[in-house]
């Protein structure tokens, strides 16, 4: 049941109205039931796995309480790490040849398939055990914890919730709030636009380069990489906005997952703005412990390399994803080295260079990020290398490149314009604060574009495969 399908919107409306009609004490139970119905719609057999991970992490969280002896607590934490990482590795290594049940049936494959949302709910439940072992308040009951792990709005592709943020909202009282509901509806509609108008229409441009390998010039190859970067952002940010919007309609504030990432001035800042919930998870549980090791100056370079290597393998256990992580880890290490080198320097005076430098940094950062995304989308290392070599060839604007540029301008132009408006107005979410007339024009334009060009029944969310 895809989040942009008519079936899902009927499902969500039923969940929404019954949630607020039911007495407060029954709402968590209803949302748990609805979440498992949603998950079973994908494949009912994997609901047992979801329930097992939920139950195991709930018990491990109780066992890893700070009230226990340090040795015993560390043993239970180690057991949680082995269980969750081992389970993820088992499926990621075994899931070969198919990204979905349909692909598995159509190709008559017998390989293991990756359960929906496994990468997200294993990290969410493991993060819970680690947080509790560090002193966070544990769940006050198993039913609220089931919703914490399996909430249908975020289980497909995050954002990864933390115990300190989401559990108190689940366990505490919630009243319908009109302002929050309106913001939630805005996020759902804007996320839908990002997904079915921007991302899914750009997919044809991306596929012509990455799937058909039909780039006829360096300009076409470069535009294909730009198109994938925009597609990936619109796809993932669109899902996140829809998930956060549905959460708001039901009384929850889910974690922010994107904060204008293309305005980052270095690769380290980019990962603080992109997939924020995953970046913060790795920062808390991998990067900071590594930095605290007694390795001297070198830990500032080893820590980002190892952290980003693991993050790359989180996407998929392959050499290609390992190189993806090492690439970003290298540039983060370079960023840290530059910052350490200039730490004691006097701040630069104003002037033309001071005004231009941030935008030059953003331009360079964007291209470093795009270069890494080639590895994320390419079908093989050979294709990634071939595409990179083609991009570095002599620039030549061909009819194919001109057509690609026109399609990108039409389908991604509104998104780029919206990002600029949000940046100028003070940050992500500023579109929801436009005046009534401006918002009316925005929603009218979205509605017309969705009605004419929206692709509601084709592609799935790119990050759901991870």
Of the candidates 19, 84, 186, 315, the residue annotated as catalytic is 315
Indicate the domain borders of the chain: 6-175, 180-465
pLDDT tens-digit map of 228-262: 999 999 999 999 999 999 999 999 999 999 999 99
Cβ neighbours around 70 below 10 Å, total: 8
With pLDDT > 70 as the criterion, what percentage of the chain qualifies? Answer: 94
pLDDT tens-digit map of 182-231: 999 999 999 999 999 999 999 989 998 888 777 778 888 899 999 999 99
**Structure-block tokens of residue 429:** 């979410």
Burial class for 224, CB neighbours closer than 10 Å (0-12, 13-18, 19+): buried
pLDDT at 105: 37
- Written as one string, the DSSP assignment of 203-215 is HHHHHHHHTS---
Is pLDDT larger for residue 39 or for residue 105?
39
pLDDT at 110: 39
* Helices and strands in the chain, H and E counts: 21, 0
CA angle, 369 then 355 then 332, to 5°: 30
pLDDT tens-digit map of 298-354: 888 899 999 999 999 998 888 999 999 999 999 999 999 888 887 766 666 667 777
CB 74 within 8 A of CB 84: no
Whether residue 86 is predicted with pLDDT greater than 80 in this model: the reply is: yes
Whether residue 390 is predicted with pLDDT greater than 70 in this model: the reply is: yes
Q: Which residue has 């334009």 as its token pair? A: 445
Q: What average pLDDT does the structure give for the chain?
A: 88
CB 88 within 8 A of CB 81: no
Whether residue 100 is predicted with pLDDT greater than 50 in this model: the reply is: no
Among candidates 277, 283, 287, 286, which has minimal Cα distance to 237? 277
pLDDT at 112: 58
Known active-site residue 315: yes
Whether residue 107 is predicted with pLDDT greater than 70 in this model: the reply is: no
Cis before 159 (ω within 30): yes
What is the arithmetic mean of pLDDT over 425-438?
79
**Structure-block tokens of residue 449:** 């574009």
Is pLDDT larger for residue 396 or for residue 96?
396
Greatest alpha-carbon span in the chain: 70
Q: DSSP secondary-structure letter at 95?
A: -
Q: Which residue has 């998950």 as its token pair? A: 39
CB 126 within 8 A of CB 84: yes
pLDDT at 348: 65
Whether residue 63 is predicted with pLDDT greater than 70 in this model: the reply is: yes
Rounded to 10 degrees, what is the CA torsion of 10, 13, 19, 20? Answer: -160
**Structure-block tokens of residue 290:** 């590594």
**Distance between CA atoms of residues 108 and 104, nearest Å:** 6
């Amino acid at each position: 049941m895809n989040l942009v399908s008519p079936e899902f919107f009927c499902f969500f409306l039923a969940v929404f109205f019954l949630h607020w009609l039911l007495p407060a004490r029954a709402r968590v139970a209803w949302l748990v039931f609805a979440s498992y119905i949603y998950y079973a719609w994908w494949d009912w057999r994997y609901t047992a796995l979801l329930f097992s991970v939920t139950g195991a992490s709930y018990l491990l969280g109780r066992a890893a309480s700070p009230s226990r002896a340090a040795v015993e607590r560390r043993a239970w934490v180690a057991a949680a790490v082995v269980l969750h990482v081992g389970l993820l590795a088992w499926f990621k290594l075994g899931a070969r040849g198919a990204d979905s049940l349909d692909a598995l049936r159509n190709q008559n494959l017998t390989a293991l398939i990756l359960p929906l949302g496994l990468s997200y709910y294993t990290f969410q439940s493991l993060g819970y055990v680690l947080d509790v072992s560090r002193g966070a308040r544990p769940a006050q009951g198993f039913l609220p914890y089931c919703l914490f792990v399996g909430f249908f709005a975020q289980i497909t592709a995050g954002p990864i919730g933390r115990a300190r943020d989401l559990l108190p909202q689940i366990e505490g009282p919630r009243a319908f709030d009109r302002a929050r509901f309106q913001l939630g509806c805005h996020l759902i509609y804007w996320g839908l636009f990002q997904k079915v108008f921007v991302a899914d229409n750009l997919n044809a441009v991306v596929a012509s380069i990455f799937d058909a390998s039909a780039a006829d010039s360096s300009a076409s190859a470069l535009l294909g990489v730009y198109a994938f970067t925009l597609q990936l952002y619109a796809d993932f940010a669109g899902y996140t906005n829809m998930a956060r919007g549905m959460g708001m309609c039901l009384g929850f504030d889910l974690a922010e997952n994107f904060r204008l990432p293309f305005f980052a001035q270095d690769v380290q800042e980019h990962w603080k703005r992109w997939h924020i919930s995953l970046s913060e998870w790795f920062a808390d549980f991998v990067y900071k412990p590594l930095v605290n090791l007694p390795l001297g100056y070198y830990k500032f370079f080893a820590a980002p390399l190892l952290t980003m290597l693991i993050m790359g393998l989180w996407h998929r256990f392959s050499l290609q994803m390992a190189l993806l992580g090492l690439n970003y880890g290298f540039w983060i290490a370079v960023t840290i080295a530059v910052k350490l080198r200039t730490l004691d320097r006097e701040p630069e005076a104003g002037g033309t260079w001071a005004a231009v430098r941030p935008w030059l940094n953003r331009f360079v950062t964007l291209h470093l990020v795009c270069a890494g995304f080639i590895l994320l989308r390419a079908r093989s290392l050979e294709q990634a290398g071939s595409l990179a070599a083609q991009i570095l060839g002599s620039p030549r604007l061909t009819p194919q490149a001109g057509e690609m540029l026109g399609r990108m301008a039409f389908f991604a132009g509104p998104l780029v314009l919206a990002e600029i408006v949000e940046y100028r107005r003070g940050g992500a979410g500023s579109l929801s604060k436009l005046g009534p007339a401006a918002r009316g024009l925005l929603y009218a334009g979205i509605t017309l574009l969705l009605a004419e060009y929206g692709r509601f029944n084709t592609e799935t969310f790119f990050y759901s495969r991870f």
